[in-house]
Amino acid sequence: MKILMIGSKGFLGSNLFNYFSQKHKVYGCDILNDKNKNYFQVIKTNPDYSQIFKENKFDLCINASGSSNIQLSLTNPNLDYTLNVDNVKKILDSIKDYNPECKLLQISSAAVYGNPDSLPIKENSSKKPISIYGKNKLIAEQLCNKYAKKHNIKITIVRPFSIYGPGLRKQIFWDLHQRSKQGEINIYGTGNESRDFIYISDFINSMNLIVSKGLFKEEIYNIANGDEIFIKDAVKTFFKNRDIKYNFTGLIKIGDPINWKSDISKIQSLGYKTQINIKEGINNYLEWLKKLK
């Protein structure tokens, strides 16, 4: 199989690139420079995918590009729209015009759900994004569905929840590590907020199942572990056996949901099983942090 991995230099994209390269011929695509012959460099705010698809024929395109910064979407909504909507349209148009047989695996986000009416969240639960980022991810999903129906493009959409693991230099565990160097730290929220964490290798396994077994007929999959982990418990595990003082401020970041737990029965129907639980995953992350300079 010939795969184009868009966003191949990011956390998700690089891990997916490395995994699928062991099994298939994979081409990378991102904004950073790379002299590898199987790599395409594009401009961040105006990527030209048309030439890539015009000169090459792919069996599958995985799109892990775009912004994943909720706070950035608040301060620069136009940029977020460009990265998460306009650029997706460019990919869809390029596939439509030059490589219509290419399947698209679009990585969306659980942010499209916002604060759910009930838990666990199913793929058909109401979509009420509370962040500009979540709204733009939902618009991108709608674009994908439109192109699938109108142009018969084979598309599957995944909605990851809280992915973490070695190499991730943002989000809660990275932030806790960075701020712990300052002594006593303040943490947003009450600690009773919850997330459905999934370790990076489990995320990759779920993606492999979709690539090998998915129908690419506008299916949508929640990607998580189906476990509601309270932030206070995740923080306690992260700081276990370390003399670090912290407290929760009670303040909630704009755009952040309160409680999340995913229904993962759909991805489980393809054979997905959790391999790394939250304690083991955090320990792996801490071991990686120790190796950093």
pLDDT tens column, 241-252: 888 999 999 999
**Mean pLDDT across 22-33:** 97
pLDDT of 85 > 90? The answer is yes
Question: Three-state SS for 3?
Answer: strand
Instruction: Report DSSP state, residue 124.
Output: T
- Which H/E stretch holds residue 136? helix 132-151
pLDDT-based confidence at residue 165 (cuts at 50, 70, 90): very high
What domains are defined for the chain? Answer: 2-165+197-226+262-275 (3.40.50.720)
What whole-number distance in Å separates Cα of residue 250 and Cα of residue 234? 17
Q: Where are the alpha helices (DSSP H) in 2-109?
A: 11-21, 50-55, 70-75, 77-81, 87-98
What whole-number distance in Å separates Cα of residue 99 and Cα of residue 95? 5
Q: Are 24 and 2 in contact (CB under 8 A)?
A: yes
Helix 200-213 / helix 11-21 crossing angle, nearest 10 deg: 60
Instruction: Report DSSP state, residue 122.
Output: P
Give per-residue pLDDT as tens, 103-158: 999 999 999 999 999 999 999 999 999 999 999 999 999 999 999 999 999 999 99
What whole-number distance in Å separates Cα of residue 40 and Cα of residue 48? 10
| pTM for the model | 0.96
Percentage, residues of the chain above pLDDT 70: 100
* Cβ neighbours for 92, distance < 8 A, ≥ 6 positions apart: 104, 143, 144, 147, 153
pLDDT for 183: 75
The pair of structure tokens assigned to 35 is 């002299």
pLDDT-based confidence at residue 264 (cuts at 50, 70, 90): very high
What whole-number distance in Å separates Cα of residue 154 and Cα of residue 213? 14
Handedness of CA 151, 7, 266, 117 (dihedral sign): negative
pLDDT for 220: 98
Mean pLDDT of the chain: 96
For 110, half-sphere exposure in the C-beta direction (CA atoms, 13 angstrom radius) is 27
